[in-house]
């Protein structure tokens, strides 16, 4: 983004002289002349904003003018997760071709973990005794595979269901068997998903995406994306009435508001329950007189001093 877009357009301008108007014109040109999507322009803006924020903290410029620039609003679209039947078909197809990849997809559906988080998963993060796995790293591809620590709110411990524990035990046995057949053993901090006999190197996120592309094509579900397994997990939990704070925690969201704005429409309709609850509460007003619209008075005249307006 810097070499292709930012430097050619803004590289000759001193950060001291860079104005809000310069940035507005730049973003407008990216949209109209270069035809970039709103999402890509927002990513470019984020790079500029972070760079100028650093310059501000180091007192190179008085303020971050990127904070005042006009950027395209990111349209909020409702996610459309695959159905349970579609997820089962994809997992079945993946398992028939590569059991390890089937396990990867099943964990994506049950844990809601991101692609890079599952690629970074190590056996040391799987606790069979407590039935949990810990997510605190991710794999990114930046000219090569880079393992990065997750932000504090994205680090989490996820409880595993019995089925997920079972397929992970099978995956561990597979890894150990492959290592033995190749006259080696797993490295001390081996990855759960690896193409190396000793599991010393994780799957590449891009490789996972390409592999999934072949699976979805085989079952005729070309519109389903790998990230939809995360959406499926969240939607299923919301639909079953799992508290939003628990859903947010399993997904690694910074707060429950993000979860609600993204998946709130999957929550079961409870308008009837709300009406029934409020009605039952208000029915406690036994002294309410519908005919006179009055509450009985405690004064001796028998007339009420309160009216219901």
User: Mean pLDDT in the chain?
Assistant: 88
**Better-predicted residue by pLDDT, 288 or 264:** 264
Every domain of the chain and the residues it spans: 2-68, 84-258, 281-309
49, 54, 119, 232, 294 from 20: Cα distances, Å: 12, 17, 40, 41, 62
The pLDDT assigned to 269 comes to 65
Q: Which residues contact 102 (CB under 8 A, 6 or more apart)?
A: 91, 92, 94, 95, 96
Q: How far is the C-alpha of 221 from the C-alpha of 70, rounded, in Å?
A: 38
**Better-predicted residue by pLDDT, 39 or 74:** 39
What CATH architecture does domain 84-258 belong to? Answer: Orthogonal Bundle (1.10)
- Please state the rounded mean pLDDT for residues 95-124: 96
The pLDDT assigned to 307 comes to 47
Q: What is the pLDDT of residues 154-165, one digit of tens each?
A: 899 999 999 999
- Please state the rounded mean pLDDT for residues 267-271: 70
Q: Which residues contact 206 (CB under 8 A, 6 or more apart)?
A: 141
The pLDDT assigned to 20 comes to 94
Residue given tokens 């809601």 in the structure block: 112
189 pLDDT higher than 60: yes
Structure tokens that stand for 219 in this block:
């079952």
The pLDDT assigned to 305 comes to 47
Kindly state the helix (H) or strand (E) to which residue 150 belongs, with its residue range: none
- Please state the rounded mean pLDDT for residues 66-79: 81
Q: What pLDDT band is residue 308 in, cutting at 50, 70 and 90?
A: very low
CB 133 within 8 A of CB 217: no
Classify domain 2-68 at the CATH topology level.
DNA polymerase; domain 1 (1.10.150)
Q: What is the pLDDT of residues 242-267, one digit of tens each?
A: 999 999 999 999 888 888 888 888 88
Q: What is the pLDDT of residues 50-72, one digit of tens each?
A: 999 999 999 999 999 999 998 88
């Amino acid at each position: 983004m810097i070499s292709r877009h930012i430097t050619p357009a803004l590289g000759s301008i001193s950060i001291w002289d860079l104005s809000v108007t310069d940035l507005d014109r730049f973003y407008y040109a990216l949209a109209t002349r270069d035809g970039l999507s709103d999402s890509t322009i927002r990513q470019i803006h984020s790079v500029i904003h972070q760079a100028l924020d650093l310059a501000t903290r180091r007192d190179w410029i008085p303020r971050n003018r990127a904070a005042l620039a006009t950027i395209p609003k990111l349209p909020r679209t409702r996610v459309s997760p695959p159905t349970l039947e579609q997820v089962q078909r994809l997992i079945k197809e993946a398992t028939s071709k590569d059991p390890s990849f089937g396990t990867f997809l099943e964990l994506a559906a049950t844990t809601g973990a991101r692609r890079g988080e599952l690629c970074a998963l190590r056996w040391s993060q799987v606790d069979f005794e407590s039935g949990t796995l810990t997510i605190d790293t991710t794999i990114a591809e930046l000219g090569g595979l880079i393992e990065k620590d997750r932000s504090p709110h994205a680090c989490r411990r996820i409880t595993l269901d019995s089925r997920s524990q079972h397929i992970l035990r099978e995956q561990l046995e597979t890894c150990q068997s492959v290592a033995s057949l190749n006259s080696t053993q797993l490295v001390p901090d081996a990855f759960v998903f690896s193409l190396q006999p000793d599991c010393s190197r994780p799957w590449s996120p891009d490789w996972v995406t390409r592999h999934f592309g072949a699976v979805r094509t085989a079952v005729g579900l070309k519109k389903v994306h790998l990230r939809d397994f995360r959406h499926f997990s969240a939607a299923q939990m919301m639909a079953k009435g799992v508290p939003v704070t628990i859903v947010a925690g399993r997904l690694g969201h910074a707060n429950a508001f993000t979860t609600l704005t993204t998946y709130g429409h999957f929550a079961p309709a409870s308008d009837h329950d709300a009406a029934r609850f409020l009605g039952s509460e208000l029915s406690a007003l036994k002294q309410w007189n519908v005919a006179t619209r009055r509450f009985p008075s405690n004064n001796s005249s028998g007339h009420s001093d309160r009216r219901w307006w």
